[in-house]
């Protein structure tokens, strides 16, 4: 289980899985996209099934390391209409691979 928070104007959904030191941010690739209603998840429980509505091909994502907000490392990928970010303190390739593996395990649950 995870808790969801929606950003200002409903542009992104931030998800913090219980017991994990990382988070997921799903952003609309097109700000004008009215199809994604993230607001229903604000301050609510979010399951992997809920997330799969937005990123059904999560296991095939191609991840790239970048600097996110405030210079915090973030792994990003794009799946159809959404940009997905995994944010955590990532140390080297082993840390990136572990983070991606934990994300995939969470999503498969």
Check residues 40 and 91 and name the one with the higher pLDDT: 40
Given a cut of 70, whether residue 69 has pLDDT beyond it is: no
- The confidence score (pLDDT) of residue 51 equals 92
pLDDT band at 86 (very low <50, low <70, confident <90, very high): confident
State pLDDT tens for residues 25-47. 998 877 777 666 788 888 888 99
State pLDDT tens for residues 44-66. 889 999 999 889 999 999 999 88
pLDDT band at 77 (very low <50, low <70, confident <90, very high): very high
- State CA 14 to chain mean position distance: 7
E strands, the chain, where? 2-6, 12-17, 23-28, 45-46, 64-67, 73-79, 82-87
State pLDDT tens for residues 1-16. 677 667 655 678 889 8
pTM to 2 decimals?
A: 0.83
């Amino acid at each position: 289980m995870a808790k969801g928070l929606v950003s200002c104007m409903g542009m992104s959904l931030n998800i913090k899985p219980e017991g994990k030191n990382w988070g997921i941010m799903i952003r609309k690739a097109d700000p004008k996209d009215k199809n994604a209603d993230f607001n229903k998840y604000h301050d609510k429980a979010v399951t992997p099934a809920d997330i799969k509505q937005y990123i059904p091909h999560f296991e095939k994502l191609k991840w790239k390391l970048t600097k996110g907000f405030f210079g915090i490392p973030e792994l990003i990928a794009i799946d159809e209409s959404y940009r997905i970010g995994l944010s955590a303190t990532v140390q080297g390739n082993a840390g990136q691979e572990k983070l991606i593996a934990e994300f995939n395990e969470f999503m498969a649950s």
